[in-house]
Amino acid sequence: MVQLSSDWNNEAYVSLHLVQTMLEMAGLPRKSSYSHWIPEFKVKVPRLTANSQLVWTQKEVDFLVEDLSRYINFLVEIKTAKTRLDAAARIQLQTYLKYSNTRFGILIDPFSVEVYEYTQGLPTLKCKHNIENPEQVQPVANFVRNFLDTVKMRTIAIYTAKGGVGKTTLVVNIAYELAKIGNRVLVVDLDDQANASLSLGVNKADELDNATNLKEFVQILDSFKDRKELINFLEDYDKEGFSYKEYIQPSSLNKILNVANSTKGRIDVLPSSYKTTDSSILKLGVFWQKKLDNALWKSGLSNDYEYVIMDTPPSLTAVTQNGILAAQYVIIPSQMEYLSVYAIRIPIKDAKEIHDNTDGRRGNILGIIPMMVENVKLHTTIKALVSKVFRDIPLLPEIKRATAVGQASHDRKPLSLFAEHNRTASSVAAQFSTLTKQIVNQIDHLERNSSK
Ligand SMILES: Nc1ncnc2c1ncn2[C@@H]1O[C@H](COP(=O)(O)OP(=O)(O)OP(=O)(O)O)[C@@H](O)[C@H]1O
Ligand SMILES: [Mg+2]
């Protein structure tokens, strides 16, 4: 360890020479179109008095930094060579994170920097870095920039050119598995049939189920006229006074998620209906293909969700194009039959084109999911063929054909919820859980490698 001058015992010195320089070097200047610092950011925290009364006191955190290009906010708490980043400092930061409702916090002294994430009511150490010499700030800036690059919202499209292969089933189940482990998930329904919206209990799913005649049914559909949904979100996101929350509906599964897990995992839906048509998308003007991508990042919602999962219609419509252009990651489901495999070439070509045109920021194919697989020779043969023909694309864990999938979707339940009362469904539920873990691992892996 280098011998440090006594200047490093002074907090203002550490702030100026290490922290502020580091933020500038990490591409987060004090005030710019990319970032904004709020020094001495005030947080109200509770404190117990000597006679056990709860009082609220105002504390000041050294900085709240708003990273506007990634839409991430984080607190920065500075310690010196003398006060040091110790257990008390960690507890202090965790309290600030909790009561300021901020997701990330950075704790730094001249010897090390630690990054914490506050989710599911718990703080976790995300990563740390030993500072060899605080006079050399660049390595610290690199560490912080790499960290920020790995925590941005992740957007995934489930896409293929064929209908009825289980896209919506995947969307619902992957969203639920992600939410179960504490993620806030936004499902964007790009299909005007709105199956994902219905399966997640929005779009008046219960009322439509209970409609006894066509008139009632039409009345319910008519009530969508004034409701804000995907197409309105795309029309309005850059207008003054826009609030994305007006366009989003909570899934009916949130009640179960909250009760079961007491985590902040949830599913919200940006729904569609018959109103989301190609002609309405084309009316959005030039660059209509990029509207969803822009809207997802500029509407403020990227601070509130860890994952966006997009359900697409079975053909490359203007709506689908918006989806795949907004997707950092693409997953291609396919049944293991010759015609389905033939159809895989189309989404691969579309995604690769987008990947190449965006320097790899969009259109990364995570893999092909063999769907509705049965223990028959044909399926085994085709799986082997797919691995061989599409050698550079991973084969993700498969989902077997099971009647429980149809029953669960009829009950509007993800498989792992349905399996709580139907033991035969538990092995299918486990497949969705394994698949989701693999998807997350693969994204983690890709992001780690791209930030090196
Ligand atoms: N693993 C499975 N085993 C049995 N049935 C399944 C399985 N996966 C999906 N299904 C059933 O297949 C049908 C089509 O599934 P789903 O609606 O998810 O497909 P999709 O690709 O979204 O269709 P579309 O292209 O029409 O949007 C549904 O009835 C669903 O319950
Ligand atoms: Mg579907």
pLDDT-derived band at 72, boundaries 50, 70, 90: confident
Residue with tokens 């693409």, as numbered in its chain: 330
Q: Which two tokens stand for residue 281?
A: 């998308």
Q: Is residue 442 part of a domain?
A: yes
The H helix count followed by the E strand count for the chain is: 18, 13
- pLDDT, residue 244, reads 92
The CATH number of the domain where 283 resides is what? 3.40.50.300
**Is 103 found in the same domain as 187?**
no
**Is 191 found in the same domain as 73?**
no
Q: Which of 60, 64, 80 is nearest to 72 (CA)?
A: 64
Q: Which of 384, 409, 399 is nearest to 435 (CA)?
A: 399
Last residue of a domain, one of 112, 129, 150: 150
Distance from residue 314's CA to the centre of ligand 1 (Å): 12
Q: Coil, strand, or helix at residue 148? A: helix
Please tell me which residue, 213 or 94, carries the higher pLDDT value.
94
Rounded Cα distance between 154 and 437, Å, is 15
Task: State pLDDT tens for residues 91-106.
Answer: 999 999 989 878 899 9
Give Dmax over CA atoms of the chain in angstroms: 82
72, amino acid identity:
I
**Is 183 found in the same domain as 122?**
no
**Under 8 Å CB-to-CB from 399, ≥6 apart: which residues?**
166, 169, 170, 369, 370, 371, 372, 373, 405, 428, 431, 432, 435
For 375, which DSSP code?
S
160, HSE (Cβ side, Cα atoms, 13 Å): 26
**Is 213 found in the same domain as 119?**
no
Last residue of a domain, one of 150, 177, 202: 150
Among 27-36, 294-303, 325-334, which is the least confidently predicted range?
Answer: 294-303
pLDDT-derived band at 262, boundaries 50, 70, 90: low
**Is 249 found in the same domain as 110?**
no
- pLDDT, residue 32, reads 84
| Ligand 1 atom having least distance to the Cα of 399 | 1
437, HSE (Cβ side, Cα atoms, 13 Å): 7
Distance from residue 306's CA to the centre of ligand 1 (Å): 26
Q: Which of 240, 241, 303, 305 is nearest to 270 (CA)?
A: 305
Please tell me which residue, 117 or 139, carries the higher pLDDT value.
139
pLDDT tops 50 at residue 398: yes
**Is 145 found in the same domain as 166?**
no
Last residue of a domain, one of 150, 183, 202: 150
Task: State pLDDT tens for residues 140-188.
Answer: 999 998 888 777 789 999 999 889 999 999 999 999 999 998 889 999 9
Q: Which of 103, 112, 12 is nearest to 62 (CA)?
A: 12
- pLDDT, residue 261, reads 61
Task: State pLDDT tens for residues 345-370.
Answer: 999 999 999 999 887 888 999 999 99
Q: Please tell me the number of the ligand nearest to residue 195's CA.
A: 2
Angle between helices 426-450 and 167-180 (to 10 degrees): 80
What domain count does the chain have? 2
Distance from residue 108's CA to the centre of ligand 2 (Å): 48
pLDDT tops 90 at residue 124: no
| Ligand 1 atom having least distance to the Cα of 165 | 21
Q: Which two tokens stand for residue 348?
A: 């691969």
**Is 199 found in the same domain as 316?**
yes
- pLDDT, residue 329, reads 95
**Under 8 Å CB-to-CB from 24, ≥6 apart: which residues?**
30
Task: State pLDDT tens for residues 380-395.
Answer: 999 999 999 899 999 9
Q: Which of 92, 96, 74 is nearest to 84 (CA)?
A: 92
189, amino acid identity:
D
- pLDDT, residue 69, reads 63
Q: Which two tokens stand for residue 298?
A: 């500029």
Q: Which two tokens stand for residue 235?
A: 């029309």
Q: Please tell me the number of the ligand nearest to residue 162's CA.
A: 1
CA 170 from centre of chain: 16
pLDDT-derived band at 452, boundaries 50, 70, 90: very low
**Is 231 found in the same domain as 267?**
yes
Mean of per-residue pLDDT scores for the chain: 89
Q: Is residue 1 part of a domain?
A: no
Rounded Cα distance between 287 and 325, Å, is 11
**Is 261 found in the same domain as 319?**
yes
Distance from residue 315's CA to the centre of ligand 2 (Å): 11
- pLDDT, residue 448, reads 64
Q: Please tell me the number of the ligand nearest to residue 189's CA.
A: 2
Rounded Cα distance between 138 and 274, Å, is 53
- pLDDT, residue 250, reads 93
Give, for ligand 1, the residue of 168, 170, 416 to mutate: max count of ligand atoms closer than 8 Å to Cβ.
168
Q: Are 436 and 418 contacting, i.e. CB atoms less than 8 angstroms apart?
A: no
pLDDT-derived band at 222, boundaries 50, 70, 90: confident
* Mean pLDDT, range 339-350, rounded to an integer: 89
**Under 8 Å CB-to-CB from 73, ≥6 apart: which residues?**
64, 65, 66, 67, 102, 103, 104, 303
- Ramachandran quadrant class, 174 (left: phi over 0; alpha: psi -120 to 50; beta: rest): alpha
**Is 137 found in the same domain as 176?**
no
Please tell me which residue, 449 or 322, carries the higher pLDDT value.
322
**Is 178 found in the same domain as 49?**
no
Rounded to two decimals, the pTM is 0.75
% the chain with pLDDT above 90: 61
Where in 328-383 does DSSP place strands (E)?
A: 329-335, 364-371
- pLDDT, residue 148, reads 86
Rounded Cα distance between 258 and 180, Å, is 9
* Alpha helices (H) along 166-282: 167-180, 195-199, 205-210, 214-222, 230-236, 254-261, 278-282
The dihedrals phi and psi of 200, each to the nearest 5 degrees, come to: -95, 10
Range of the domain at 266: 154-450
Distance from residue 195's CA to the centre of ligand 2 (Å): 6
Q: Please tell me the number of the ligand nearest to residue 165's CA.
A: 1
Distance from residue 272's CA to the centre of ligand 2 (Å): 12
CA 333 from centre of chain: 20
| Ligand 1 atom having least distance to the Cα of 371 | 1
The CATH number of the domain where 55 resides is what? 3.90.1570.30
% the chain with pLDDT above 70: 95
Angle between helices 403-410 and 167-180 (to 10 degrees): 70
pLDDT-derived band at 73, boundaries 50, 70, 90: confident
Q: Which two tokens stand for residue 170?
A: 């995947």
**Is 218 found in the same domain as 120?**
no
Distance from residue 189's CA to the centre of ligand 1 (Å): 15
The residue whose CA has the least distance to atom 31 of ligand 1 is 406
Give, for ligand 1, the residue of 191, 335, 405 to mutate: max count of ligand atoms closer than 8 Å to Cβ.
405
Q: Is residue 397 part of a domain?
A: yes
Residues touching ligand 1 (Cβ under 6 Å) are 163-169, 191, 195, 314, 372, 399, 401-402, 405-406, 409
